[in-house]
Structure 1
Amino acid sequence: MGDTMEAYEELLRWARDRGIELHGVEPRALPGRGMGIVATKPLKENERILFVPASTHRTIDTVRPEVKNSLPKGTKVHAMLAAELALDTPTSPHAIWNAVVPSRDDITAHLPLAWPDTGLHAYLPKPALALLRKQQTKLARDYAATQQTALRTIPRPHYLYTWLLVNTRTFYHAPAHAAATLPRDDHMVLQPVADLFNHADAGSAAAGFAAAGFSITASRAHAAGDEVYICYGRHGNDFLLVEYGFVLADNQWDEVGLDDAILPELSRAQKEVLDEEGFLGKYVLDRGTVCYRTQLAVRLLCVPVEEWRRFVVEGEDGGEEVQQEVDGLLVRILEKYRGTVEGTIQEIEGLDIGQPCQREVLALRWRQIRGLIDQTVERLKS
């Protein structure tokens, strides 16, 4: 830990020399949770705790010409930043910053895209697996771009590592001159020190960009010793697992995909009706509600098609009796799916593939899903 903290202390010296300002906070080791930003004194609401000047950002504009110019036209910003990171050397201007990013072992252990044993992917919840497939497509596209150039000397495992560093540590932003023309996926910026803040579903600090740079301001009072969080976005735990390699124990934005519960209950004709109206699939529940799409699909299992269409078009709901029937059927469907979830948990707990931490996070995620299902069933029954 001594060498680790020395690297962070060197980063802070390097950062201050470049105009980065920290006020009342510093990086600290958090037992069992890696590193985070902690208040060193009482912080007031609206107190600025970090400023990162634009001159220190790594963006599309700062990618070295020999990297940018060697890549095919249309290469994504993500691909450029990953390639540049992959080519950084111990004498790079960013070497001190690079010294504190997660190691390749950390990335391999926690991010599903890098899991060596891809057999574990089959145990991801379907929404998480869909996100992973999109990641795989993006990575393949970006790595292919490097293979068309002199950058083809970058080994794929190393590119995967730096690609995931970019994916997990960038902020959503683009230089002012490019914001209107760059696709949303290309609004990416790497920032020293700011990337050390951990995520919470309701951050205790607010982030914002201006022409001069990036600021983080306390959004509530903190006592000395409190960890200061930012919110990466209103993301459920399936998203957080695939994109960042962790799940939150308590996440107000969490939700459960229900396609595997609902679709098997529907006949082919019912699926065609739902598809015609744009309501086939993408069924979810969250901590407070079952989504409208799910309600519609279950209602179609309870009433004739014409009555269902009147509800969709005109809002004729058939009264409380029909809603009770819908709720009752939904409870039965969820209780049946809970059995599937329980079986998945038991299967994961019996696996001997992958690393223990990978199996543990998968089992934890399914236990969270089970918990949300139980909450919903209890609410519907009451």
Structure 2
Amino acid sequence: MDPLQELLDWATSHGVKLNGIAPERIPGRGIGVLATRDIETDEIVLDVPTNCLRTLSTVPKARLRRLGDNKNISVHGILAADLALDSSGKFAPWDAVVPRSEDLVGLPLTWHPDLQALLPQHAAELLAGQKTKFARDWDAVAGAFPELIKGKGKNGGKEGVGMDRYRHAWLLVNSRTFYYLDAALKKRRSTSRDDHMTLQPVADLFNHADEGGCHVAFGGDGFAFRATAPCRKGEEVKICYGRHGGDFLLAEYGFVMRENCWDEVLLDEVVLKRLDEAQKKRLEDAGFLGRYVLDRDTVCHRTQVALRLLCCKVGEWMRFVNGSDDGEGSQGAVDTLLLELLREYVVIIEDRVDGIRVLEVGERSQVDMLIERWEQIRKLVDTRIASLEGEITT
């Protein structure tokens, strides 16, 4: 039997309800969810009951006991350990359709370090956080479950087949979970929003849309997915993973979108180098140091504050910061400086792309994806440059 049909049979036998949708293989794009009939706005297309969820509460107690009171491991890490160690066959139809390791090569955590080094700033920051979190989780799991360690790495450490297996499970959890309020989390001494995670069958097959798709709601009985717009038979039904820019989607999910209304880029690389230490201290004290964002329409207020410190006298700058000056009088100077900085950034982007093209490491798909991401950033920057040139000329 086809694995997708086996998953559907298994899911429906456990109470999952599909209404007008079905997972299908989409040529060149893996698996998605398609409408099997015309779907109207506000229809519930999928119900996933609580008893089908894989959460901290469903991890076998014996497995949790072996981890003991280890405060270093995250719920993410525990769920990944459960996936990597499970041999019960309980979730076999579900496990049969999740991405294999080779399907996750788009995630920068799997990339060669030379490629990782050329990620845009925000994606690089997210990757650094993942590396720290994964290393902490792996240390805890490898210590509690030595059977996961199948060999040693080149440096005599615990890296081996077992680590690859665990990383695969860890990346599945990272890219396929939903936000969930788990009662078991109340027993943990230290939790964060990131710990509220659940895996759910069929629902994890929805692809991402920057707008529209289905609204996801969690209640006492489980998750409900409700159409927010009409969908014609044969069209793909999607959900929005969140209002995320391209760097987030690349780092956390391993893909880039051709069009993304929430796309943005950090300009810290060109702004911060213009500031001296005294200016940086002044911005830090005011709460405006770093995180200078350009989106599809404009730059953020933080950027406006930083650039005014470079264009204005301190008194005028302080009045803008505290809201007593709307900044209209200095906007022309700010726009001229911003245009200069964006042109500098174009040169940096071109250098990055040239550097990526000459690398002979990693998968071709990884190289292409990284280039595509920088080209998306170039498009954002070019659009703002054209807008500023028009404004300054007039």
TM-score by length of 1: 0.94
Partner deviation per Cα, 1:8-41 (whole Å, 9 max, x = no partner): 1111111111111111111111122111000011
Letter in 2 for 1:86: A
For residues 1-382 of structure 1, the aligned pairs below 5 Å read 6-73=2-69, 74=71, 75-89=73-87, 91-107=88-104, 109-115=105-111, 117-151=112-146, 153-154=148-149, 155-176=162-183, 178=185, 182-317=191-326, 319-320=328-329, 322-382=330-390
CA distance in 2, matches of 1:188, 1:317: 43
CA distance in 2, matches of 1:123, 1:279: 26
Measured after TM superposition, the shift of residue 152 of structure 1 is 5.4
Q: Is the 8 A contact 1:53 1:213 kept in 2?
A: yes
Measured after TM superposition, the shift of residue 380 of structure 1 is 2.0
Partner deviation per Cα, 1:72-105 (whole Å, 9 max, x = no partner): 313421111111110122x520111101000011
TM-score by length of 2: 0.91
CA distance in 2, matches of 1:266, 1:378: 25
CA distance in 2, matches of 1:295, 1:180: 45
CA distance in 2, matches of 1:114, 1:177: 31
Secondary structure in 2 matching 1:123 = coil
Q: Is the 8 A contact 1:179 1:187 kept in 2?
A: no
Q: Is the 8 A contact 1:298 1:330 kept in 2?
A: yes
CA distance in 2, matches of 1:374, 1:119: 27
Measured after TM superposition, the shift of residue 179 of structure 1 is 6.5
Partner residue in 1 for 2:153: none
Q: Is the 8 A contact 2:55 2:79 kept in 1?
A: yes
Question: Residues 317 and 214 from structure 1, CA distance in 2 versus in 1: closer, same or farther, beyond 3 angstroms?
Answer: closer
Moved more, 22-31 or 170-179: 170-179
Letter in 1 for 2:269: D
Letter in 2 for 1:93: K
CA distance in 1, matches of 2:116, 2:185: 37
Q: Is the 8 A contact 1:67 1:80 kept in 2?
A: no
Secondary structure in 1 matching 2:117 = helix
Q: Is the 8 A contact 1:113 1:136 kept in 2?
A: yes
Letter in 1 for 2:95: N
CA distance in 1, matches of 2:300, 2:187: 34
CA distance in 2, matches of 1:205, 1:180: 33
CA distance in 2, matches of 1:72, 1:98: 27
Measured after TM superposition, the shift of residue 209 of structure 1 is 0.9
Letter in 2 for 1:327: D
Structure 2: stretches of 5+ with no match in the other structure: 150-161
Aligned residue pairs: how many?
374
CA distance in 2, matches of 1:194, 1:188: 14
Letter in 2 for 1:102: P
Question: Residues 171 and 318 from structure 1, CA distance in 2 versus in 1: closer, same or farther, beyond 3 angstroms?
Answer: closer
Letter in 2 for 1:377: I
Letter in 1 for 2:35: A
CA distance in 1, matches of 2:42, 2:319: 51
CA distance in 1, matches of 2:238, 2:186: 27
Measured after TM superposition, the shift of residue 311 of structure 1 is 2.1
Secondary structure in 1 matching 2:90 = coil
Letter in 2 for 1:263: L
Using the aligned pairs only, state the percent identity: 47
Measured after TM superposition, the shift of residue 272 of structure 1 is 2.0
Moved more, 220-229 or 311-320: 311-320
Question: Residues 180 and 282 from structure 1, CA distance in 2 versus in 1: closer, same or farther, beyond 3 angstroms?
Answer: farther
Question: Residues 340 and 150 from structure 1, CA distance in 2 versus in 1: closer, same or farther, beyond 3 angstroms?
Answer: closer
CA distance in 2, matches of 1:123, 1:130: 12
Secondary structure in 1 matching 2:67 = coil
Partner deviation per Cα, 1:43-62 (whole Å, 9 max, x = no partner): 11111111111111011110
Partner deviation per Cα, 1:276-329 (whole Å, 9 max, x = no partner): 212111111101120111111111111122321222124324643x21111011
Question: Residues 266 and 40 from structure 1, CA distance in 2 versus in 1: closer, same or farther, beyond 3 angstroms?
Answer: same
CA distance in 2, matches of 1:315, 1:381: 28
Q: Is the 8 A contact 1:258 1:284 kept in 2?
A: yes
CA distance in 2, matches of 1:55, 1:329: 57
Letter in 1 for 2:23: P
Letter in 2 for 1:143: W
